[in-house]
Structure 1
């Protein structure tokens, strides 16, 4: 299948939002424009085969060298030289240097006045006595190639504008998510709300651990890019999709086969777990559930793909704002009503199409849509106790789904640009791709290209002019990678990971952290053992600071932080330390002799 058909099919079948599709590269229109370029070149006698012969002719360089040295043989016809580059504003420029005795020059001279008026002829200086044989430099003002690159640059400007809109909306969603999740997982919030019960405080502590585990799985999934040696760098759209499903598999309790699970089927299952509610007769631990039927396919599209005029994540942002307006730490019923109203809006927006979709589906599809799926008891989602956590996770999923869609859309359009430039070069033999793409994709690469290809050089087949480069972020950087850095900076730290607070000696939490004068931190137990052994050097930097440490080196702020964010771990470390101290005291008693009861 030709790329033009594949391009349109992917835009349609991958549920790309309508405003994205309208901003996509108009591949078919650009192909038609290439045909006009070919026809215009042929009118000037520059057929593709002739241009390719000129470009591939090694005699061109020799002729140029001979001319610069003034040693060209006046009896020999000088081979033509073709130059195709870009001026300011990325305006294409075609220059042909010809011998006035050549057939190509004679053909250009025979052009009608309407054509010859678009030729700018410059006679190059010649050191020979016969100036009539001096080479002629002809600048051909093509109209169709200017139209082609203007159309391509206009579409790139539209894609850049769409990219900026996506960044603004995604950053807004990340900020809202950070605010909601921070309030959900912050145990100190109860002190500012006197109407809170002990169960609410317990819900926040429980959800803090759930969110920490979710973010840990998210970091380890390396969805959009990886820093691991075996898999370093940015991931393509298909790899990112598999990694996102792998993350979802971990969150949902390892009950899905990622290799065989479709994205839409997973989202149907995810909606079950997000909509499942604890049984009224349960103890509140979230293990007894009332599973809901997965929404019909049409509703899944509305709920998770969000093909709206405001982008695929606008609904998630609206959901978070409604949760905040209902009060993150307020009445649980009001937040649940917000979720129910959101679901009812989705059902009303389908206008009865859901039943028609089910009726028109094959029996297997109907069974999958109408059957009730019991959520996995190992699902992290079902461990949420705070009413705001599930809407927040739904928005977090939509954020990553939107990033995946943006990556797919960006990759698809970058491929379209590469292919259309390749087709332009194949049809015209003008070799524009190697100059044009670096100029629009990287400002540094453009400066390098300008420095490497001097306009004054007569031997360059492709030339550029200083200041030509235009920076287009859509083709020069990955939106998914940029947003992932923002997520790592603003969202992940909301629930600190325990790996960042481990003692480098015992590899457990640095409870009662001792900050040495070299600024390295160890738990008090490990530091005591070092001092008992008479070791004065820091295990990390080897400075003599260990024996100088005392109670003044206790980091009280860090201790308060650890107790607040890692209550289970600090308590377990305290119990472990007390057991070790008790064992040491018992061993000392035994070594002093047998116990005598008086």
Structure 2
């Protein structure tokens, strides 16, 4: 299926809002622009195969970046397509130019095919201009614009098309930096009409996508803040007795959410490698909902407001998913339309254009919206309900109540630390820090973590104290038993 159709179907099937669709990359319109560019190049005698011959560097398989020393007798006609950016008025303008160098003094051309291209192109340009000498008179007389009536006219001091946003002095500056005044070869810059429209249209659509991304990111952050405010009431143990709190239900829900790795794979070292694509996010989000339904956790809520907050949490995630899907399909459209431009014109803009506008557009070059929103979710919502795994003693695997924080940063419950000292262990069993256990004393008691555990893990702390008392009783009594005779 053609990508234009895939793009259209995706926007419909994913229920993308109408205002988003209007801001999307207009793939079909851009394709029409490309067809016009091809037509203009053909009119100049620069068909696709011709441009491949005079632009492609067969040794390096890349677009030639010409300097004055690269012009050789075996390559009498060389074309270079350049993109520059300058700000006129309130927006950026992309200025594409086709530089053509012709060696008129070259009498010994060994390649018949290049010779044929050279003669045909030379004849075509001279016919369009009507005066061969004018192309070497001065810098300002070597910029030509292709008008709507397909006439090649001098610019900027000639009969330029009206309404052009590019000042004359700027064009002269480009010419002065680009063209060579050597008498041994003639150079000119040709400004097509449709390629300017193509890049200006594409650049404008990227600006719309930038604004959309910023707006939706702001909306998502507001949604997260609203959920966070609700959670501060619903999952705060200080707001009421535990028997009326949904603290433990929310903890289990968020644990399932974290285990589902909806947006990122947590064991990857690279953020870009760990980030899920839109389809994977959708599957993970549906898997999270399925696991929640199997546990019936939401049916066990004691506070009706908890169900409202959970639905808000789901809606926020689906909102983020929709933004990610929209960003993904537009990024693909951006990449494919540049690839199509190169395929039909051989002008080599697939890397050149993104590099030119890389600092201007957050939609295609900025960090993923998933990164920023997931950070806000983590810091504003998930941290409101601490997970037991973060406060577990690595030795006894129960809550590390009366936590002893070693100099290396690892935490153990006081009971396990005492046992390690009794066993003459001196180094940290996790990182092997020298004498981390030996140097630990009452000053290593983490009072802040201890208070948090008592507040957020009351059931686990109570069970831990029971286990400690039972173990201590066993140590005191030992194997002695009462014997009735």
Which residue does 1:246 correspond to in 2?
287
Which residue does 1:434 correspond to in 2?
351
Distance 1:12 1:65 in 2: 46
Give CA-to-partner distance per residue, 1:477-505, whole Å, 9 cap, x none: 32123211221222210101111111122
Q: Does 2:80 align with 1:79?
A: no
Which residue does 1:399 correspond to in 2?
316
Distance 1:64 1:160 in 2: 31
Give CA-to-partner distance per residue, 1:184-220, whole Å, 9 cap, x none: 0111123xxxxxxx5xx5221xx11111111111111
Runs of 5+ consecutive residues of structure 2 not aligned to the other structure = 87-93, 106-117, 131-150, 157-174
Cα distance, 1:489–1:553 mapped onto 2, change above 3 Å: same
Distance 2:441 2:59 in 1: 82
Cα distance, 1:551–1:124 mapped onto 2, change above 3 Å: closer
Cα distance, 1:28–1:526 mapped onto 2, change above 3 Å: same
Q: Does 2:211 align with 1:161?
A: yes
Determine if contact 2:207/2:361 at 8 Å carries over to the other structure: no
Determine if contact 1:108/1:116 at 8 Å carries over to the other structure: no
Determine if contact 1:187/1:564 at 8 Å carries over to the other structure: yes
Distance 1:391 1:123 in 2: 67
The answer to which of 37-46 and 141-150 deviates more is: 37-46
Which residue does 2:154 correspond to in 1?
117
Per the TM alignment, residue 159 of structure 1 is displaced from its structure 2 partner at its CA by 0.4
Give CA-to-partner distance per residue, 1:59-113, whole Å, 9 cap, x none: 999x99997399x5xxx56432221122124422221122236311221111056
Cα distance, 1:118–1:408 mapped onto 2, change above 3 Å: same
Where 1:433 maps in the other structure, the secondary structure is coil
Cα distance, 1:579–1:158 mapped onto 2, change above 3 Å: same
Which residue does 1:505 correspond to in 2?
395
Q: Does 2:485 align with 1:565?
A: no
Distance 1:552 1:488 in 2: 31
Per the TM alignment, residue 53 of structure 1 is displaced from its structure 2 partner at its CA by 1.9
Residues 45-56 of structure 1 aligned to structure 2 (within 5 Å): 45-56=45-56
Q: Does 2:100 align with 1:96?
A: yes
Cα distance, 1:99–1:57 mapped onto 2, change above 3 Å: farther
Q: Does 2:225 align with 1:175?
A: yes
Which residue does 2:194 correspond to in 1?
144
Per the TM alignment, residue 32 of structure 1 is displaced from its structure 2 partner at its CA by 1.3
Distance 2:369 2:258 in 1: 18
Where 1:88 maps in the other structure, the secondary structure is strand
Which residue does 1:361 correspond to in 2?
none
Per the TM alignment, residue 388 of structure 1 is displaced from its structure 2 partner at its CA by 1.2
Residues 136-285 of structure 1 aligned to structure 2 (within 5 Å): 136-190=186-240, 201-204=242-245, 207-229=246-268, 232-253=273-294
Residues 355-394 of structure 1 aligned to structure 2 (within 5 Å): 378-394=295-311
Per the TM alignment, residue 510 of structure 1 is displaced from its structure 2 partner at its CA by 0.4
Distance 1:407 1:574 in 2: 47
Determine if contact 1:34/1:424 at 8 Å carries over to the other structure: yes
Which residue does 1:107 correspond to in 2?
124
Determine if contact 1:163/1:474 at 8 Å carries over to the other structure: no
Cα distance, 1:187–1:34 mapped onto 2, change above 3 Å: same
Distance 1:392 1:161 in 2: 29
Determine if contact 1:439/1:471 at 8 Å carries over to the other structure: no
Give CA-to-partner distance per residue, 1:555-578, whole Å, 9 cap, x none: 333222101101111111111111
Cα distance, 1:473–1:49 mapped onto 2, change above 3 Å: same
Distance 1:577 1:168 in 2: 50
Distance 1:176 1:159 in 2: 26
Where 1:84 maps in the other structure, the secondary structure is strand
Which residue does 1:533 correspond to in 2?
423
Cα distance, 1:480–1:495 mapped onto 2, change above 3 Å: same
Distance 1:492 1:508 in 2: 21
Per the TM alignment, residue 118 of structure 1 is displaced from its structure 2 partner at its CA by 4.7
Give CA-to-partner distance per residue, 1:306-343, whole Å, 9 cap, x none: xxxxxxxxxxxxxxxxxxxxxxxxxxxxxxxxxxxxxx
Which residue does 1:490 correspond to in 2?
380
Q: Give TM-score scaled by structure 2 length.
A: 0.79
Determine if contact 2:68/2:180 at 8 Å carries over to the other structure: no
Q: Give TM-score scaled by structure 1 length.
A: 0.65
Q: Does 2:328 align with 1:411?
A: yes
Where 1:85 maps in the other structure, the secondary structure is strand
Q: Once superposed, what is the RMSD of the aligned Cα atoms?
A: 3.0
Determine if contact 2:100/2:187 at 8 Å carries over to the other structure: yes
Residues 313-352 of structure 1 aligned to structure 2 (within 5 Å): none
Runs of 5+ consecutive residues of structure 1 not aligned to the other structure = 191-197, 254-377, 444-469
Distance 1:386 1:65 in 2: 72
Distance 1:525 1:123 in 2: 81
Determine if contact 1:410/1:475 at 8 Å carries over to the other structure: no
Distance 2:427 2:312 in 1: 49
Which residue does 2:91 correspond to in 1?
none
Cα distance, 1:558–1:77 mapped onto 2, change above 3 Å: closer
Determine if contact 2:210/2:361 at 8 Å carries over to the other structure: no
Determine if contact 1:506/1:526 at 8 Å carries over to the other structure: yes
Cα distance, 1:58–1:473 mapped onto 2, change above 3 Å: closer
Per the TM alignment, residue 10 of structure 1 is displaced from its structure 2 partner at its CA by 1.6
Which residue does 1:19 correspond to in 2?
19
Residues 294-309 of structure 1 aligned to structure 2 (within 5 Å): none
Distance 2:398 2:382 in 1: 21
Determine if contact 1:123/1:135 at 8 Å carries over to the other structure: no
